[in-house]
Amino acid sequence: MRAKIESINALYTGRMPVSTAFCLFFLCVLALPQSAFSQTPPTTAVYIAGTESNVALTQHMSGLIQNELGEEFSLRPFKPGQTSQDDNSLVITLGPDAFALVRQESRSVPVLALLVDEQFIKGYTDRPGEQRLGAIFYAPPLIRQAVAGKVILPHATRVSMLATPDSVEIYEQLTEQLPAFGMEGQVFVVTNNDNLISTLIRALEYGDFLLAAPDNGIYNPRTIKHILLTTYRRNRIVIGPSQAYVKAGALASTYVPLTLVAELAADVINEYQVSNQFPPPIYPDNFKLEINEQVARSLNIPLPSRQELVDVIKERLSASMEGDHD
């Protein structure tokens, strides 16, 4: 060590050849610890809360979102009780159960709710003092579903909808929007399980297709088979309520792939980090269309490609929005 110090002193007093001095200086630099040259940039912690009933979904979404966020963020699993120690770090929730769990712990922690529908989140955003809440709706907007039905059945002018007395309001905005797309709609109320099919038959006599919203009181594993069979026996189709129901026998539904949800979530998180505010809850602009081609063939409904249908749906929705702004 003394020899190294003497060599450095010689460098500054000019008693050493320049070439030798440069070599010694270079060796001293190499001897410095690596931490003197590089430092890991700080990361922002973001937590994600899923449900124990679907661990695979939580892991999949965590990977997609982390990939979109990049190295500036560290996505960590949410642990019950942590908001008592940290109510400033943003928490992503997957589904209504995870959201309710986090919100019960803290009303002040910032939450970005994913995989929820508009009706669920509206119950929270309407509460006084609810400010640190963002949401990306997962269930497709009903007007988009109705337009999809119109594009698939160009002759359609009437839309039937089923609801319980508690869920009628789901369709209120839709019935006001339909005339702009050359359609009208009527909601048929199912007062109890015993008159589900008789009410459905009246609805099918009115409408060119049945539009299904994510209403578990009407559409659930116990009822869906009877609804689909009754509908198709009367040569009608079901649009919605989700991609899963298309696989069960509904003709079509728009949906948003989880990859697109992750992309939009990353955009919202970045915006929140800059402004400390969430944008208003939103529906993703981009979407895809799931079609049950076997059902289409059975009902003799000719269809172009899914992308062609999506393009037409987007075009009509966009034209309507531009008309509203004029």
DSSP string, 227-286: HHHHHHHTT-EEE-S-HHHHHHT-SEEEE--HHHHHHHHHHHHHHHHHHSSPPPPB--S-
pLDDT digits (tens, 9 = 90+) for 95-127: 999 999 999 998 889 999 999 998 889 878 777
pLDDT confidence bin for 52, thresholds 50/70/90? confident
- pLDDT above 90 covers a percentage of the chain that reads 72
Domain extents in the chain = 2-36, 44-138+260-275, 142-255+287-316
- pLDDT above 70 covers a percentage of the chain that reads 84
Residue 82: what pLDDT? 86
* pLDDT higher than threshold 70 for residue 134: yes
CATH value of 142-255+287-316 in 3.40.50.1820, 3.40.630.30, 3.40.50.2300, 1.20.59.10: 3.40.50.2300
CATH topology of domain 44-138+260-275: Rossmann fold (3.40.50)
**Maximum distance among all Cα pairs of the chain, rounded to whole angstroms:** 106
What would the mean pLDDT of 152-158 be, rounded to a whole number? 97
Spatial CB neighbours of 54, under 8 Å, sequence gap ≥ 6? 94, 95
Radius of gyration of the chain (CA): 29
Q: Are 112 and 90 in contact (CB under 8 A)?
A: yes
65 closest CA partner among 97, 40, 94, 85: 94
pLDDT digits (tens, 9 = 90+) for 61-84: 999 999 999 999 999 999 988 887
pLDDT digits (tens, 9 = 90+) for 221-259: 999 999 999 999 999 999 999 999 999 999 999 999 999
Mean pLDDT estimate for the chain: 87
* pLDDT higher than threshold 60 for residue 291: yes
Looking at 106-252, list the stretches that DSSP marks H as alpha helix, in order from N- to C-terminal side.
118-125, 142-152, 172-177, 196-206, 224-233, 243-248
- Amino acid in the structure at residue 57: L
Residue 88: what pLDDT? 87
Query: What is the value of pTM for the model shown?
Result: 0.81
pLDDT confidence bin for 322, thresholds 50/70/90? low
Query: Do the domains at 44-138+260-275 and 142-255+287-316 have one common CATH topology?
Result: yes
* pLDDT higher than threshold 80 for residue 166: yes
pLDDT digits (tens, 9 = 90+) for 188-230: 999 998 999 999 999 999 999 999 999 999 999 999 999 999 9
What is the distance between the alpha carbons of residues 151 and 154, in angstroms, rounded to a whole number? 5
